[in-house]
Amino acid sequence: MTLKTRGQRKIEYESDIQKSKDKIFEYFKKSDFRDYLIQKRNDKIKEKKKKAYFPKKIQAGKNKSNTIDWIERLLKTPIEDYRKQCLWRVLCPYLINIRKVTDQETFIILDEWLKRCSGLRTLDFRSNKIIEDNIKNVKQFLPPSKDKLKDQYKDLYHVLKAKDIFVD
């Protein structure tokens, strides 16, 4: 049996540490690091898709109080037709994303508006369910402008115009 000097033992110890480091590096290099890079790339792709889906950031309205006059008039005016479309396309996005009203307050405001609308003509749908679904699915959608409403939802536009919602 040969005795090793302190220097020889130190060299062996250091080479064992280096071998351990190499093994650890190889392990991470092959598995976890690769997985990490793949996950990071997937996250970037998801972020790009999300940005493409929501191209506009929510911006405050032209006036400082975050209100749109014609939609405020609509909230005070009951209508007979296109109530579901009004909820889905105009009122819900407006209350949540422009006025920044909570979900509970939005529900109360829309429920009261629908009750006034049912005075003109009874509702043919369950108002609670429709309001809840619209609040849940509004995401970052914004209400349409008057011009967009006129182009894409002509019938609704004419109903609102007949009720003097749009003051030009």
87-124 tens-digit pLDDT: 989 999 999 999 998 999 999 999 999 999 888 888 87
Please state, in angstroms and rounded to a whole number, the distance separating the CA atoms of residues 164 and 69: 12
Contacts of residue 100, Cβ cutoff 8 Å, sequence gap at least 6: 66
Amino acid 22: pLDDT: 72
User: Averaged over 133-138, what is the pLDDT?
Assistant: 90
Q: Is 53 exposed, middle or buried (CB count within 10 Å of its CB: 0-12, 13-18, 19+)?
A: exposed
User: Averaged over 63-82, what is the pLDDT?
Assistant: 84
User: Averaged over 76-92, what is the pLDDT?
Assistant: 90
> Is pTM, for the whole model, over 0.75?
no
Q: Is residue 114 a contact partner of residue 131, using CB atoms and an 8 Å limit? A: yes
The H or E element containing residue 55 is none
44-70 tens-digit pLDDT: 887 777 665 544 444 444 444 688 889
